[in-house]
């Protein structure tokens, strides 16, 4: 059987494209199978791996959104892992939506949300070899330009702003990874770029950069 790699995330895993000029199928506002980081990772890893896309726009770690249903990963993690078992590696890249102003959460609270999600995942009987194997990815910090973007009001740009909170996520996630025995990657340090429309979604180049980094890292985590 192939090694199952689950990529659990939000719109940056689903492949939302905020800039129609940056994606091949511009009318769909979504990067296609030749552009998304998940599909690029599959291509790089080869036939011994099965990379499973589990991206949902608006998804949070554990917080229920009062405006939209079923966006908490905590509620979805059990059926997600069980439906794809045996799981060789779970990659979680969440947190950007958690810092929306309407949730009222700071970076520390989002970190606690990630910790709770990870701890639940670790209890689920789905793991290849019987041992949980999780990689936490901290998304790149939101850009300052969001203050003048169409999503400024939704994300929150005043005291403390979504930009400030997003900059602190990597530190919180690194701590959580250490406490829970997970691997950690700071996507902000890989050079993954955001577009200049909403300053919070990956460009086509950003998808390629993330995929290239993970293509190096994933085999090390699965084969260890």
Give the pLDDT confidence score for residue 189 in this predicted structure.
95
pLDDT cut 70: percent of the chain above it: 100
Q: Each residue of 53-107: pLDDT tens digit? A: 999 999 999 999 999 999 999 999 999 999 999 999 999 999 999 999 999 999 9
For residue 187, name the pLDDT band (cuts at 50, 70, 90): very high
Give the pLDDT confidence score for residue 159 in this predicted structure.
80
User: Would you state the structure tokens that stand for residue 159, as one six-digit string?
Assistant: 């005291």
| Averaged pLDDT for residues 121-138 | 97
Cα–Cα dist 139/40, whole Å = 18
Burial class (CB in 10 A: 0-12, 13-18, 19+), 157: buried
Q: Each residue of 9-30: pLDDT tens digit? A: 999 999 999 999 999 999 999 9
Per the model's pLDDT, the better-predicted residue between 35 and 223 turns out to be 35
Give the pLDDT confidence score for residue 110 in this predicted structure.
98
Q: pTM higher than 0.75 for the full model? A: yes
Which of 138, 157, 141 shows the shortest CA–CA distance to 199? 141
Which of 175, 83, 88 shows the shortest CA–CA distance to 138? 175
Q: Each residue of 172-185: pLDDT tens digit? A: 999 999 999 999 99
| Averaged pLDDT for residues 117-122 | 98
Task: Note whether 133 and 88 are within 8 A (CB).
Answer: yes
Give the pLDDT confidence score for residue 224 in this predicted structure.
65
Q: What is the mean pLDDT of the chain?
A: 96
Q: Each residue of 131-163: pLDDT tens digit? A: 999 999 999 999 999 999 999 999 998 888 999
DSSP characters over 118-169: HHHHHHSS-BGGGS--EEEEEPPPPPGGGGGSTTHHHH--SSS-HHHHHHHH
Query: Please, which contacts does 16-22 make with residues 24 or more away whose CB atoms are closer than 8 Å?
Result: 16/57, 16/201, 17/201, 17/204, 18/195, 18/197, 18/198, 18/201, 19/195, 19/196, 19/197, 19/203, 22/195, 22/203, 22/204
Domain 3-223: CATH superfamily, name plus number: SGNH hydrolase (3.40.50.1110)
């Amino acid at each position: 059987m192939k090694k199952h790699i689950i990529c659990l995330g939000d719109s940056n895993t689903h492949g939302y494209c905020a800039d129609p000029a940056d994606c091949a199928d511009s009318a769909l506002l979504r990067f296609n199978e030749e552009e998304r980081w998940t599909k690029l990772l599959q291509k790089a890893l080869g036939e011994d791996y099965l990379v499973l896309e589990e991206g949902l726009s608006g998804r949070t770690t554990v917080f229920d959104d009062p405006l939209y249903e079923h966006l908490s990963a905590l509620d979805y993690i059990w059926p997600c892992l069980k439906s794809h078992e045996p799981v060789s590696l779970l990659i979680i890249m969440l947190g950007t939506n958690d810092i929306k102003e309407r949730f009222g959460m700071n970076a520390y609270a989002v970190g606690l949300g990630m910790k709770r999600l990870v701890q639940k995942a670790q209890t689920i009987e789905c793991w290849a070899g019987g041992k949980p194997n999780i990689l936490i990815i901290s998304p790149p910090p939101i850009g300052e330009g969001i203050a003048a973007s169409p999503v400024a009001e939704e994300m929150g740009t005043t005291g403390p702003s979504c930009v400030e909170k997003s900059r602190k996520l990597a530190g919180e996630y690194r701590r959580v990874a250490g406490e829970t025995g997970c691997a950690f990657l700071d996507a902000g340090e890989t050079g993954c770029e955001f577009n200049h429309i909403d300053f919070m979604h990956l460009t086509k180049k950003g998808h390629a950069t993330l995929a290239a980094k993970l293509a190096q890292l994933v085999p090390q985590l699965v084969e260890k």
